Chains A and B, each alone.
Chain A
């Protein structure tokens, strides 16, 4: 039997469909914690250029005595990158499995399950593409109109392009849907769901998704309407 060959915990976990969901849930929680911290940091934009740029610099000097300049930031980046790889490989593996499991589709398509749940895969692809753009734009400055500027200047220069601002907002809506299903799905995967608590978990997850999307999207909107210059 297959089981006898999978005695080590890594292969036993990775080898099963539920194990892959555990990996996705754990990495998803890492992303969620990061995204919340990122959002709170971003909101410092409303305290002015000086505060925002100081915050940006503070992130780089944080723990510098031990880890060196940008050391903590690089540790976070490596953890996130490893999580992205695991999350995506598991997702594509389950996607492939799903395609394989139904070789002949239905003529009359049904629409069971929430919109958020049914759009997880393409939503995830949109978010991944957005993150690549986002790093090139605001971290490296490669596609930013003001690549030499500070964090505040780059942000304002970027969102002064309406197309970029709208793309950002669309990506945040996709992120909101992804979190709405993902967070609830993680509770289910960790075995914490019950028939009684399910509604509360789902509502909470949607709430978290909406708060995060609004918290991020308020910045490009503010730039577009001239509230942040």
Chain B
């Protein structure tokens, strides 16, 4: 199939970027989106041009590296799918495809489609952990966990931290990411002692890092490749409200 790509090209963090057109003549519909970009980059390299920089690692949909906004939708048109697992059969011959980096002040562009997403690491460092020595796995019946909490915690734990939620959010908020971590840890017994301070600290870090505020638009959950439910944010709000009323502090 023949395609026209319009890709955001930006030499470095300080350079002014622009969309550049690349015609693609021979795209196989069984290629993944990243393989299609590999073909483009081979062509660019053979022509002595600078290849398009993009993040990728596992190409199995679990590392969360392959961040790109395809035709205005993070990770492209297919639901619950990362860019690496998106195949060209979802596009039509003759299509023009716009490819842009995540857009957020907290995720500055390093080059082309590559953004610095270490802001997420800072949110995790603010409280996305359980401060106990886990040791070897305990006997499974020692601490009962009800089925609903176990399932909800597991659903939230599938977050791969790709940042699509931030990219899609009209407010540039990282709320779904933070909420996934808070739901994941807050529903399990090990996460209880730090539940209140975790909610307060992670939210305060997110606010401090220039992410926007959540207004419950729901764009995040629509594009999330792991289908993290929007209701996780309600769980975060619940914990933050409880912690605020209880006067929980991180110090």
Which A positions have Cβ atoms within 8 angstroms of B?
1-4, 7, 9, 12-13, 16-22, 94, 97-98, 100-114, 117-118, 120, 181, 184-185, 187-195, 197-198
Counting chain A CB atoms within 10 Å of each CB, the highest count among B98, B236, B244 belongs to B244
Give, as a whole number of angstroms, the nearest-CB distance from A203 to chain B.
14
In the complex, chain A residues whose CB is within 8 Å of the CB of B223:
112
Partner of A118, one of B6, B73, B170: B170
Tell which of B21-29, B41-49, B133-141, B198-206 binds the partner: B198-206
Instruction: Assess the A105–B170 pair: CB atoms within 8 A.
Output: no
> Complex Cα distance A192/B244, Å?
16
Instruction: Assess the A9–B247 pair: CB atoms within 8 A.
Output: yes
Give, as a whole number of angstroms, the nearest-CB distance from A68 to chain B.
36
Judged by a CB distance under 8 angstroms, whether B143 is at the interface is no
Counting chain A CB atoms within 10 Å of each CB, the highest count among B19, B103, B104 belongs to B103
In the complex, chain B residues whose CB is within 8 Å of the CB of A189:
216, 234, 237
In the complex, chain B residues whose CB is within 8 Å of the CB of A195:
152, 229-231
Give, as a whole number of angstroms, the nearest-CB distance from B45 to chain A.
25
Q: A3-B249, A13-B244, A184-B216 are in contact. Are A94 and B171 (CB under 8 A)?
A: yes
In the complex, chain B residues whose CB is within 8 Å of the CB of A193:
230-231, 233-234
Partner of B238, one of A101, A112, A185, A191: A191
In the complex, chain B residues whose CB is within 8 Å of the CB of A97:
171, 212-213
Instruction: Assess the A101–B212 pair: CB atoms within 8 A.
Output: yes
Q: In this complex, what residue of B is CB-closest to A117?
A: B217
Instruction: Assess the A16–B240 pair: CB atoms within 8 A.
Output: yes
Contact with A along B9-20 (1 / 0, CB 8 A): 000000000010
Partner of B103, one of A18, A21, A102: A102
> Complex Cα distance A20/B241, Å?
11
Instruction: Assess the A3–B201 pair: CB atoms within 8 A.
Output: yes
> Complex Cα distance A193/B218, Å?
13
Q: A16-B207, A19-B244 are in contact. Are A113 and B217 (CB under 8 A)?
A: yes
Which B positions have Cβ atoms within 8 angstroms of A?
6, 8, 19, 69, 71-74, 98, 100, 103-106, 152, 168, 170-173, 200-201, 203-204, 206-208, 210-219, 222-223, 229-231, 233-242, 244-245, 247, 249-251
Q: A3-B204, A108-B100, A194-B234 are in contact. Are A17 and B218 (CB under 8 A)?
A: no
Instruction: Assess the B244–A12 pair: CB atoms within 8 A.
Output: yes
Q: In this complex, what residue of A is CB-closest to B109?
A: A104
Secondary structure of the A contact surface, majority rule: helix
Instruction: Assess the B217–A188 pair: CB atoms within 8 A.
Output: no
Partner of B200, one of A3, A101, A103, A114: A3
> Complex Cα distance A185/B200, Å?
20
Give, as a whole number of angstroms, the nearest-CB distance from B101 to chain A.
9
In the complex, chain A residues whose CB is within 8 Å of the CB of B69:
106, 108, 110
Q: In this complex, what residue of A is CB-closest to B234?
A: A193
Instruction: Assess the B251–A18 pair: CB atoms within 8 A.
Output: no
> Complex Cα distance A195/B6, Å?
37
Q: A16-B204, A97-B171, A110-B69 are in contact. Are A102 and B212 (CB under 8 A)?
A: yes
Give, as a whole number of angstroms, the nearest-CB distance from B90 to chain A.
16
In the complex, chain B residues whose CB is within 8 Å of the CB of A16:
203-204, 207, 240, 244
Q: In this complex, what residue of A is CB-closest to B173?
A: A101
Instruction: Assess the A7–B249 pair: CB atoms within 8 A.
Output: yes
Instruction: Assess the A118–B217 pair: CB atoms within 8 A.
Output: yes
Give, as a whole number of angstroms, the nearest-CB distance from A144 to chain B.
36
In the complex, chain B residues whose CB is within 8 Å of the CB of A190:
237-238, 241
Instruction: Assess the A108–B98 pair: CB atoms within 8 A.
Output: yes
In the complex, chain B residues whose CB is within 8 Å of the CB of A109:
72
Instruction: Assess the B210–A101 pair: CB atoms within 8 A.
Output: yes
Q: A1-B250, A100-B105 are in contact. Are A18 and B236 (CB under 8 A)?
A: yes
> Complex Cα distance A39/B216, Å?
27
Instruction: Assess the B222–A101 pair: CB atoms within 8 A.
Output: no
